[in-house]
Amino acid sequence: MKQTSPTLAILNISQLLTLSSSTPGPRAGKSQSDLGIIENGAVLISDEKILEVGRTQTIKKKIPRKTKLIDAKNKVVTPGLVDCHTHLVFAGSRADEFELRIQGKTYQEISSLGGGINSTVKKTREASSEELLDSGRERLNRMLSFGTTTVEVKSGYGLSTESELKILEVIKKLNRNHPVDLVPTFLGAHAIPEEFKIYRRDYIRILTEEMIPQVAKKKLAEFCDVFCENGYFTVEESKKILEIGKSFGLKPKVHADELGNTGGSQVAADVGAVSADHLVYAIDDDIEKMKKNGVTAVLLPGTSFFLGSRYAPARKMIENGLPVALATDFNPGSSMTESMQMVMSLACLNLKMTPAEVLVASFLNSAYAISRGEQIGSLETDKKADLLIWEVANFKEIPYHYGINLVQTVIKNGKVVYPSK
């Protein structure tokens, strides 16, 4: 039997957002705003797990002497943030493209002029594993300081067997050596690499016959993702890639309907994807079909903000009972931010989601969007002790005070990791 005596107690929490629920699964519809708040709350932790949550008066009586205590001083405590869609491992910068976009060029125009994903691919292929590890570590440090304790990370800037494996190995190493947990996704279908532009069938053959089998054999990814969009991968190609991924044990995810309504949501529903991400151009029928097939909608308002484009129909999704999760989409081309706090403010202001809906989307639903809903995303007995103490006394202050860091303390696996000592 593992020892279950308390190692840490957090007391005097103004609002403890447990997000606990009697029914498993991502929250949808009305329950998308159910935060499970305990006023004047407390959390009891044993090593890496949560032992108990309750009111301070009740928990106080159960604390053995010598247990480490943290006085939350009437501030909000939540689970750690889960960023369920990022492209964290890349080399170089696209600040020049940022300037071109400000001057009026679109993301697609820049891509056809030799910029875009393939320009990052060139730099990432040239970079050593050490360079990618160093920049990856810096970005994870920034994420952790902003409250992200679990992050999904996609490959997709290698686009050759060797470079895709290099990126996935970097993700594996970062996961081993950094307090933030990384969940790896294979995104060989991010773009057709330059050298295969007129031989796209050959690239897809390499992807399905070489990359997927090797990634699966080396256990380097849990998910397989596809950028299903005009100019990238067609509906048929996407389905084929995701089905082959599935046959190798990789769970499907889809970059869907980001730049137009091109069938990505339907692909996600048809292959039984864990999530469909972006969904800016998803229509009623897409929403209905994804709901029926158990797909979680991952919305990325940072990308719409950064590209100056439309926002996804979040209200329609929530009103129709499709669970909504949020993520940064952190990448050099279309969303250069590590901050889930910024994304939460954008989701309130531009997706018209309420602060409560946004918080459920960023903790619990984002955990389900990467198949981690049983371990993280809410504060319940036996879940991971990943928690944040905020500088505010009311949860509504979190998305309201924007563009700054409101996280005071990050506890990961039951230990304070930020601020570092």
Can you tell me which of 6, 193, 333, 373 binds ligand IZC, judged by CB under 6 A?
333
CB atoms inside a 10 Å sphere around CB 39: 10
Beta carbon nearer to ligand IZC, 300 or 324:
300
Taking the C-alpha atoms of residue 389 and residue 16, their distance in angstroms, rounded to an integer, is: 10
Contact segment (CB under 6 A) with ligand IZC among 176-184, 215-223, 234-242, 331-339 equals 331-339
Nearer to ligand IZC, 331 or 341 (CB): 331
In one-letter notation, the amino acid at residue 351 is L
How many positions of this chain bind ligand IZC (CB under 6 A)?
Answer: 10
Q: How far is CA 200 from CA 70, 154, 193, in A?
A: 57, 21, 9
Among positions 111-150, residues that touch ligand IZC (CB under 6 A) are 116-117, 120
For position 366 contacting ligand IZC by CB under 6 A, the verdict is no
* Other Cβ atoms within 10 Å of 83 Cβ, number: 30
Nearer of residues 136 and 333 to ligand IZC, judged by Cβ = 333
Asked if 45 interacts with ligand IZC (CB under 6 A), we say: no
Q: Tell me which of 85, 87, 166, 412 binds ligand IZC, using CB under 6 A.
A: 87
341 binds ligand IZC (CB under 6 A): no
Residues paired with 7 in a beta bridge: none
C-alpha–C-alpha distance, residues 208 and 189, integer Å: 10
Would you count residue 253 as binding ligand IZC (CB under 6 A)?
A: no
3-state DSSP call for residue 283?
coil
Task: Please identify, using beta-carbon distances, which residue of 26 and 302 lies nearer to Zn ion.
Answer: 302
Give the DSSP per-residue string, 100-151: HHHTT--HHHHHHTT-SHHHHHHHHHHS-HHHHHHHHHHHHHHHHHTTEEEE
Q: Which is nearer to Zn ion, 154 or 412 (CB)?
A: 154
C-alpha pair distances (Å), 400 with each of 186, 296, 407: 35, 26, 14
Nearest 5 degrees, angle CA 337-CA 375-CA 69?
A: 85
Find the shortest distance in angstroms from Cβ 303 to ligand IZC.
Answer: 7
**Binding of residue 373 to ligand IZC (CB under 6 A):** no
In 19-93, beta strands by DSSP E: 37-46, 49-55, 68-79, 81-83
User: Do residues 233 and 224 lie in contact, with contact meaning Cβ atoms separated by under 8 Å?
Assistant: no
Smallest distance from ligand IZC to CB 6, Å: 44
Which phi and psi angles does 392 have, rounded to 5°?
Answer: -115, 160
- Taking CB within 5 to 8 Å according to partner kind, which of Zn ion, ligand IZC, none is near residue 265? none
**Other Cβ atoms within 10 Å of 349 Cβ, number:** 15
Q: Which residue is nearest to Zn ion (CB)?
A: 329
Q: Which residue is nearest to ligand IZC (CB)?
A: 333
Please, which residue, 186 or 418, has the CB nearer to Zn ion? 186
Q: Which of residues 314-333 bind Zn ion (CB under 5 A)?
A: 329
Residue 276's Cβ-count burial label (10 Å; 0-12, 13-18, 19+) is buried
Sole binder of ligand IZC in the list 223, 227, 368, 390 (CB under 6 A): 227
Terminal CA-CA length for the chain: 32
CB of 201 to ligand IZC, least distance (A): 22
DSSP state of 80: P
Does position 262 interact with ligand IZC (CB under 6 A)? The reply is: no
Is the Cα torsion angle 334, 146, 172, 238 positive or negative in sign? Answer: negative
Least distance CB 417 / ligand IZC (angstroms): 29
193: three-class secondary structure by DSSP: coil
Residue range at the interface with ligand IZC (CB under 6 A); choices 172-180, 280-288, 314-322, 325-333 = 325-333
**Binding mask of the shown chain, residues 278 to 317, with x at each position contacting ligand IZC by CB under 6 A:** ----------------------------------------
**By the criterion CB under 6 A, which residues form the site for ligand IZC?**
87, 116-117, 120, 227, 255, 331-334
**By the criterion CB under 5 A, which residues form the site for Zn ion?**
329
